[in-house]
Amino acid sequence: MQNETKIKIALVDDDALFLKMLEIEFVNQGEFEVERFATGEECIRHLSPDSQLVVLDYNLDGINKNAMNGIATLDEIKSIHPLIHVIMLSAQDQIEVAIDCMHHKALDYVVKSETAFLHIHKIITNALTYKKIENRLNWYMDRM
């Protein structure tokens, strides 16, 4: 697959092992170009404007206890790049946390588990399919 057709995503997690596992999963799919960040601050500084999606950990204080948390990072990403989809990822299986993320304009919330990658991949597929349909509708509407 050519680089131009790959989906550019950013992965943000302070757990180096989980971050590497996510990267391997996405790279092995062959349809993704992956950027990795260990902190929210690093992501905000270096996030490519071409990125279509960010997978963002909810808790980002494993490396630095004073690090920006996932919600603050989400808010900053959306203020800079409002069209980038952000999927929140967390070990917390609490509905309140998921609702909070959605209130901050996350596309979705996924609990870290053995099936997390499959859930994330399905969310990405659905989001990009919806975006293509939306673009086609806009194209047709502009010509009417």
Helices (H), 6-105: 16-29, 40-46, 70-80, 95-103
Instruction: Residue count of the chain, please give it.
Output: 144
Predicted TM-score (pTM) of this structure:
0.84
CA distance 13 to 135: 31
- pLDDT digits 0-9 by tens, 54-83: 999 998 876 677 779 999 999 999 999 998
Domain 3-143: give its CATH superfamily.
Response regulator (3.40.50.2300)
Q: Domain limits of the chain?
A: 3-143
pLDDT tens for each residue of 6-40:
889 999 999 999 899 989 988 998 889 999 999 99
Buried b (16+ CB within 10 A) or exposed e, 47-56: beeebbbbbb
